[in-house]
Structure 1
Amino acid sequence: MQLGGWQTCAMFGEGVVRVCADPVVDLFVAETAGPAERTVLVVHGGPDWDGSYLRQPLVELGGECRVVLPDLRGCGRSTRGLADEQYSWDLVVADLLALLDARQVKTVDVVGFSTGGKIAQRVALAAPERVRRLVVASSNVVPVPPDAFDGWQERDRRHEAGARLANAEGVAGVELTRAWAWSSAPANVWRPDKLDEYLHRLEGVAFSGEWMRPYQAGLLSTVLPDDAVDRLAALGIPILLLHGRQDMTFPAALAEQAAKHIPSARAVVLEQAGHMAHIDQPDQWIAAVREFLA
């Protein structure tokens, strides 16, 4: 494993870490200063996004913790152009564990957001001895039932633009990923006064379309681990299920339901917060993470 040259950017150092030699996979990593024994591995969502939209407010943990925020393979400034079969959840988990090895981290706290929350569960299940605490943010442990959002008219209204985009012709790959992110913004951010801030963050995201290809070809397995509730309960790892009450992607009620069935888990549901709860309620969000990881 090799570590690229590092530069400082807004309290995050930035560099490249090689996590696989055949094929070559380099992960672009943003990292704060902090003690290695208190490393927080952050797994972004998408997956065809990068991790930049999560830097705030997680940067506030810098110094007291070492926050490590990689772009997953095929995402952001990490290696792209891999064959479709090289995009799998097992390989992502292997990359993340290799990253920890490269940074000489034996035990880590893991924060996974949205799709990253399900990848984080896979990390804990694959290497439970390396995960001290697990934060599943704006994600799910319980499968989402097909009728989960029936009758929620406000959600239907906010998703209308995205639904039109799904039927648009001539939009594919990275352009489709970008267009989806922008059109779904009103559904992802609950508070209207936070929408401009969110759109500004989207301007800085290096979107890709790498994961969309195998997804559309039916090559990707479901990212949520099978029997996640029972398997996580058996591990006994402390788990925080951090959610926005108005999340229009994963119902907040599922976080509360999962907490009732996993003895080591607790749910924190933030009011007046949507899927991007860290943007709607940044102070409450980072306070919940900090308290849990203390």
Structure 2
Amino acid sequence: MTNVNLSETAPTQFQDIGGVSLAYRHFGKEGAPPVVCLQHFTGTMNNFDPIHTKRLAQDRPLILVDYRGVGRSGGEMPDSMPAIAADIIAFVKALGLKEIDLFGFSIGGMVAQQVVLDAPELVRRILLAGTGPSGGEGMQEFSPEVLEIVNRPNSTQQERSLDLFFSKSPTSYAAGKAWLKRIAARKLDREPEAKPQVAEAQLVALAKWGAIPATDRYGDLKKIKQRTLVVNGRNDIMVPTINSYILQQHLPDARLILYPDSGHGSHFQFSEEFAEEAARFFAAA
């Protein structure tokens, strides 16, 4: 592999899934199951960390994909995780893929869990970052702290991302600013920001996912037999960190990494270390 970061140059392509086209980028070393990467709340392909994608692409293909209605994908964003997962499953099958790995961040991690539940034969391994199980702790709605940041007047998306994804320490904030610089490095063929409909639909999907069932609260996790790596920061204010522990305790074959002095975007803060952990996880026999 060259030192060219393909996340900055790989062209955006489009795949039809029954009358709607999903925007995606496909790059990396062929020969292994591709890692399909699923993004966070209102996030697009632009938001994936180039340090992660460059490292993983040395070993295997990567597929970054935007949900229906996000970026340049057609249609409107669905308002449930099963509907979003159905699109991803249709997308994977339309590409002719028989086996994939999944890397889901935040909402992407919830979609990844649903994909595995609905099409277990497609998925080999799962990496879940900054996410939680259906019916998890504090997941029915955002906390007052998060809502204050999201609705803060006269703030930019970048400023809100820093406060939502990183801790308040100077070290964490500096790492957040470095991440923002990295994801802005791609200058051409960038995805447009998500439309208001995306946030509205994803909030409904989150509320449904976070609803606590009357019985067998984490029963679905026992059905996910694939090896899983769960990653989060010490204090995730968006998807409370306790949910990462719950995932590790209830998934049959899960490992857990919690990074210090960090939050929802811990894998961005510890980008090099995480990239190596992710590469080892996907490469291990």
Q: 1:27 to 1:235 in 2, by over 3 A?
A: same
Q: CA–CA distance in 2 between the matches of 1:197 and 1:276?
A: 12
Q: 1:71 to 1:219 in 2, by over 3 A?
A: closer
1:129 is aligned to 121
1:280 is aligned to 269
Gaps of 5+ in 2: 1-5, 185-189
- After TM superposition, the structure 1 = structure 2 runs for residues 156-167 of structure 1, keeping only pairs within 5 Å, are 159=145, 163=148, 166=151
Tell me the alpha carbon deviations over residues 219-266 of structure 1, each in whole angstroms, 9 at most, x when there is no partner. Answer: 876235966732222332111111112322223233123312323112
- Normalising by structure 1, what TM-score? 0.76
- Greater Cα shift, 269-278 or 198-207: 198-207
Q: 1:77 to 1:68 in 2, by over 3 A?
A: same
Answer yes or no: is 1:40 the counterpart of 2:11: no
Q: 1:270 to 1:15 in 2, by over 3 A?
A: same
Q: CA–CA distance in 2 between the matches of 1:274 and 1:232?
A: 24
Amino acid at match of 2:209: V
Match for residue 54 of structure 1 among 48, 53, 76: 48
Answer yes or no: is 1:192 the counterpart of 2:153: no
Q: CA–CA distance in 2 between the matches of 1:246 and 1:215?
A: 23
Identity %: 21
Structure 2 residue matching 1:222: 3-state secondary structure: helix
Match for residue 234 of structure 2 among 245, 252, 259: 245
Greater relative CO, 1 or 2 (CA 8 Å, sep 6+):
2
Q: Is the 8 A contact 2:105 2:130 kept in 1?
A: yes
1:71 is aligned to 66
Q: CA–CA distance in 2 between the matches of 1:52 and 1:188?
A: 16
Q: Is the 8 A contact 2:48 2:183 kept in 1?
A: no
Amino acid at match of 1:206: P
Q: 1:224 to 1:119 in 2, by over 3 A?
A: farther
Amino acid at match of 1:20: G
Q: Is the 8 A contact 1:241 1:268 kept in 2?
A: yes
- Normalising by structure 2, what TM-score? 0.78
Q: 1:224 to 1:18 in 2, by over 3 A?
A: farther
Q: Is the 8 A contact 2:222 2:252 kept in 1?
A: yes
Structure 2 residue matching 1:185: 3-state secondary structure: helix
RMSD: 3.2
Answer yes or no: is 1:111 the counterpart of 2:106: no
Q: Is the 8 A contact 1:119 1:223 kept in 2?
A: no
Runs of 4+ in 1 over 4 A off after TM superposition: 178-181, 201-205, 218-221, 224-228
Q: 1:265 to 1:166 in 2, by over 3 A?
A: same
Structure 1 residue matching 2:114: 3-state secondary structure: helix
Q: CA–CA distance in 2 between the matches of 1:221 and 1:250?
A: 12
Matched pairs, number:
261
Match for residue 86 of structure 2 among 94, 98, 102: 94
Q: CA–CA distance in 2 between the matches of 1:69 and 1:111?
A: 10
